[in-house]
Structure 1
Amino acid sequence: MHTLDQLNRGELKGIVRLQLSENLTAFPEAIYDLADTLEILDLSHNALSHLPEDLPRLKKLRIVFCSNNRFTELPAVLGRCEHLEMIGFKSNHITRVTSSSLPSQTRWLILTDNHITDLPDDMGRLTQLQKLALAGNRLRRLPDSMAACRKLELIRLSANQLDAFPDVLLALPRLAWLAFSGNPFCAARDPHNEFKTVAFADLSLHQVLGQGASGVISLATWQRNPFGFDDKVAVKVFKGQVTSDGFPEDELDACLAVGYHENLVTPLAKVAEAECSALVMGLIPPHYSNLGLPPSLVSCTRDTFDEGQVLSIDTIARIVGQLENLVAHFCQQKVSHGDLYAHNTLISDDGHVLFGDFGAASKYGNLSATQQQGIEQVERRALAFFIDDMLSICAEKDKHSLAYDALREKVRM
């Protein structure tokens, strides 16, 4: 994080990325002093409502993030930035997005948690678009022209006002990560009355184990253990608002709808109180670790890995076999996970996989047979990308093996 004082004193000359959060109400003129080098401008968490008309003076600008500000429309000046390809305006008050505000080279567009009712009819001209996050808006339809967005790989549409599933998406050849829960066309949430319920007062939360867009996971012990669970458990307390993937209530619903599988983190009980929605889960043993890391600004939709991370082809084949079995289970339960990634995968020292995080999951059993088949094809494509990512960290000595060739063939399918 940088400071306005540093900027005004000229101490940031030559930087590539600028991040300012100082309750700004106006765009600092001193930013133009960085025009020769600045590529990433992050003005999130301020009080901005406009960007200046001469923003294209930042001639190398590729990425603009202005989340958690006061914009009511996506600034048209963005469309005149020659190299701008990543735009993030999450959690503003945007009601209007015009074609002129979207550069034709846009690759990453994040408009989560706004008040958008319509997208430009010519969205299809964004032929480089790979990632599109629109959860938590008021969209009623998607433009038919999006059939031309053939590079689109990830889209988040949860928590909108879509009356029908957008069939235009199912013809996109690279779409792999799709979230659409919390729309009027979706199946109703199941109360899961058969599932064990505990009171939040029964639990005592301790240190945080992890957190994501939809909630915080903590170690917990029992004040009162009505069902005789293990003394130590994990509790995910859901945030009571829309997240980048949708409504937390839909995550809980999908997680419980999937049921038991040996490669899923085991849900034990739910907490369903007016002031708290939470899920009690089995505690993951300490010999499990994350298989991958989330996508970067460079990889956009694809996972990243620790530098030097290498796996044998035998280990990769075992991981893939477990994920294939898990995806088949999702299909049987008519739940699309929507976030099939290595960074959502835990692996033990002996190669056993545990999978979780249902924030982007969507139930689809109420849709037509054709739509169901299309959604399952999207999920299988995510699995193919997962395999491709795994092969990228395969040991060099194994890259000429029959097992490697067999997995490479699955990526081509």
Structure 2
Amino acid sequence: MNTLAQLRAGELAGITRLDLACGLTEFPREIFELADSLEILNLSGNALSSLPDDLHRLTRLRILFCSDNQFTELPSCLGQCAALSMIGFRANRIERVPGAALPPLLRWLILTDNCISELPAELGERPLMQKLMLAGNHLQQLPESLVRCHRLELLRISANRFTELPEWLLTLPALTWLAYAGNPLETEADASALDATPSIPWTALRLEQKLGEGASGVIHRATWEREQQPATPVAVKLYKGEMTSDGSPLHEMNACITAGLHPNLIRVEGRIVGHPQDQAGLVMQLIDPSYRNLAGLPSLASCSRDVYADDTRFTAKIALRMARGVASAAEHLHQQGITHGDLYAHNILWNEHGDCLLGDFGGASFHATTDNVETRALQRIEVRAFGVLLGELLERIDSGLSDDDRVALEDLQQRCCQPDVLKRPGFTEVVRELKSR
């Protein structure tokens, strides 16, 4: 984190990224002295409500973060920034998004947790758009012009006011990761599954070290103590209850429960009751430490693609075991009326034997279990996500794959990612083809 004193003293000359969080109420004009080098500007966590009309003087500015401020309107000056491709205004008070505020190279727009009820038609005139994050607003519809955004891959519209998904949305050729939980349109979680989940008293749990923390909650190692049974090591996830980029964490909890049992999903032991602050939480199986994340989160540069370690390589046996496991888990979820919404390598845990677990239900949504055009389209949008993953695995196989198998798997990958959504195979067919390899 940089300081205002450093900026004013000229100590930051030549930097490409500036991070300022110091209670700012006005944009520091000294930032313009960095115009020859500044590419990333992070002003999140201040008290700003406007930006200068001449912001375009920052000619190299590619990425701007202004989350957790006091904006009520997305500033129109953004649209004049010729190089600006990523904009983040999460958790402000934004009610209005002028079309003039959208720069021509816009690729990634984050407007999560605001008060937006309408979006401009100009949004569909940004052909480079790949990620659009709108969870936690007041939207009832999307501009139909978005049908022209043929590169749009990730869309988050959870916790809004949609009563239906537009038909054109489900035909977008590149749409891959879609989250829409917490809207009136969504099929409810299976109440019988939720009711049948065991309740685990908070007093029966002894929290130990923190294992990790995400946008939706904190995970601890814990010991579960029950009468006349040995103490059991478990993982406890306590949900924050705040809006995330995917939607409400409580919808995530319901999806985890409704998903049920599958060898490639993390097992839920029960729901926590009696937390002193009424915090929602789940008790889950403790994952062996030999498991690790398959990849890292997408970077600012990769946008919608995960980042793998440079030395990540697999034998064909290991890669195919993981592919079969993930496809089988996705098939199971679809049979329960759930789309995962975030089927990515960074949400997959694996070990050296190729055992794997699909986790993080933050983007999960419910759909009808009956077969209809909308259900098939929603499921095949997720098939494209698997196709992306399969391609990433195939790129990293260094031994054991015959020429015939590679041709067949590359053909499967291409069919999973083809632009005609309804012509993609379903996961039942994908699982069957993978088992034959």
Normalising by structure 1, what TM-score? 0.96
Where does residue 195 of structure 1 map in the other structure?
197
From 399, 402, 405, the equivalent of 1:403 is 405
- How far 1:226 sits from its partner (Å)? 5.7
Alignment of 1:118-157 (within 5 A): 118-157=118-157
Aligned length: 411
Matched, 1:221 2:241: no
- How far 1:317 sits from its partner (Å)? 1.6
Alignment of 1:134-283 (within 5 A): 134-191=134-191, 192-222=194-224, 224-225=225-226, 228=229, 231-272=232-273, 275-283=278-286
Find the aligned partners of 1:364 and 1:275 in 2 and give their Cα distance.
29
Residue identity matched to 2:303: C
Residue identity matched to 2:102: L
Find the aligned partners of 1:105 and 1:251 in 2 and give their Cα distance.
33
Give deviations 1:160-202, integer Å, cap 9, x for gaps. 0111123221110010100000001112344411110112222
With over 3 angstroms needed to count, the CA separation of the structure-2 counterparts of 1:44 and 1:199, relative to structure 1, is same
- Backbone CA RMSD of aligned residues: 1.7
Matched, 1:112 2:112: yes
Where does residue 366 of structure 2 map in the other structure?
363
Contact 1:88 / 1:111 at 8 angstroms: preserved in 2?
yes
With over 3 angstroms needed to count, the CA separation of the structure-2 counterparts of 1:162 and 1:227, relative to structure 1, is farther
Contact 1:316 / 1:391 at 8 angstroms: preserved in 2?
yes
Find the aligned partners of 1:90 and 1:164 in 2 and give their Cα distance.
25
Where does residue 333 of structure 2 map in the other structure?
330
Where does residue 54 of structure 2 map in the other structure?
54
Contact 2:108 / 2:303 at 8 angstroms: preserved in 1?
yes
With over 3 angstroms needed to count, the CA separation of the structure-2 counterparts of 1:25 and 1:400, relative to structure 1, is farther
From 361, 372, 381, the equivalent of 2:375 is 372
Secondary structure of 1:328's partner?
Answer: helix
Contact 1:200 / 1:276 at 8 angstroms: preserved in 2?
no
Give deviations 1:262-285, integer Å, cap 9, x for gaps. 001100001245711101001001
Contact 2:189 / 2:258 at 8 angstroms: preserved in 1?
no
Secondary structure of 2:215's partner?
Answer: coil
- How far 1:388 sits from its partner (Å)? 1.5
- How far 1:399 sits from its partner (Å)? 7.7
Contact 2:326 / 2:357 at 8 angstroms: preserved in 1?
no
Residue identity matched to 1:259: G
- How far 1:334 sits from its partner (Å)? 1.3
- How far 1:368 sits from its partner (Å)? 7.5
Contact 1:187 / 1:366 at 8 angstroms: preserved in 2?
no
Contact 1:14 / 1:38 at 8 angstroms: preserved in 2?
yes
Find the aligned partners of 2:80 and 2:212 in 1 and give their Cα distance.
40
- How far 1:313 sits from its partner (Å)? 2.6
Where does residue 317 of structure 1 map in the other structure?
320
What percent identity do the matched residue pairs reach?
Answer: 44
Contact 1:331 / 1:376 at 8 angstroms: preserved in 2?
yes
- How far 1:311 sits from its partner (Å)? 1.7
Residue ranges of structure 2 left out of the alignment (5+ in a row): 416-437
Find the aligned partners of 2:314 and 2:392 in 1 and give their Cα distance.
11
Find the aligned partners of 2:394 and 2:356 in 1 and give their Cα distance.
17
With over 3 angstroms needed to count, the CA separation of the structure-2 counterparts of 1:190 and 1:277, relative to structure 1, is farther
- How far 1:307 sits from its partner (Å)? 2.3
Residue identity matched to 2:88: G
